[in-house]
Structure 1
Amino acid sequence: MQTLNYRFPAQQIPAEAIHVGVVASGDLEILLEQPATGEPGDCATVRVRTSVDGFDTIWQDVLERFFTRIPLAGYWEINDFGATPGVVNLRLRQAGEAASATAAAS
């Protein structure tokens, strides 16, 4: 098991916590929490726990592209169990859409 940590600039704060996906073979889950009270809301702190070692660069590239398009601030926890980059992109987009939907409902 490998743990990767990243930080990306971000400006949008989700209205509530988000959970998408599951931890299962070939899949992953994403948990997104708002920045803690008193913490700045200008970055996304991402922790990736993955069962696949050696893909640091790919994770960096995929996440950097996502946060360039969708700058959602907060604490992101990604639990990966061998998901392909396509599945990772799908789950990230789902989290972004869920955050947009909760913001629109508020």
Structure 2
Amino acid sequence: METLNFRFEHGRHRLPPVAQLSGVVSSGNLEVLVESAVLNGACTIEIRTAARGFGAIWEAVLNDFQERWQLADACIAINDMGATPAVVSLRLDQALQAMTGKTP
């Protein structure tokens, strides 16, 4: 397992004070947990993945995600079992849409 951590500063959109789970890791896919947190306007993302050596791809996918959503005071945990970048983006968007009722 590899753990990757990312932090994005100066987000603009705060989340409601609830948690949202999207996906199921046992499906051979991934699960995403999104929670609001006091982070001085930042968004943190921790990934635990079985696929080692893909940090640059994760960074590109998460940069794209943060550009779409501009999250502030958010904490995201991802448990991955080798999902493709498209599935990662889908699960992240699903979680945020369920929490906010909005699309990016």
What TM-score, normalized to structure 2?
0.87
Unaligned segments of structure 1, at least 5 residues: none
Question: Does the residue aligned with 2:70 lie in a helix, a strand or coil?
Answer: coil
Residue by residue, what CA displacement relative to the aligned partner does 1:41-91 show, whole Å, maximum 9, x if unpaired? x11111000000000000000000110111123111000011011110110
AA matched with 2:7: R
Q: Deviations over 1:25-48 (max 9, x none)?
A: 431111111114xx42x1111100
Report how many residues are paired.
99
1:52 and 2:51 aligned: yes
For residues 68 and 54 of structure 1, what CA distance do their matches in structure 2 show? Answer: 24
Question: How big is the alpha-carbon RMSD for the aligned residues of Structure 1 and Structure 2?
Answer: 1.5
2:80 maps to what in 1? 80
Does residue 90 in structure 1 map to residue 90 in structure 2?
yes
Find the residue that maps to 1:82 and give its secondary structure. Answer: coil
Q: Which runs of 4+ in 1 moved over 4 A?
A: none
Q: Percent identity?
A: 44
Q: Give, in whole Å, the separation in 2 of the partners of 1:70 and 1:33.
A: 14
Matched, 1:24 2:26: yes
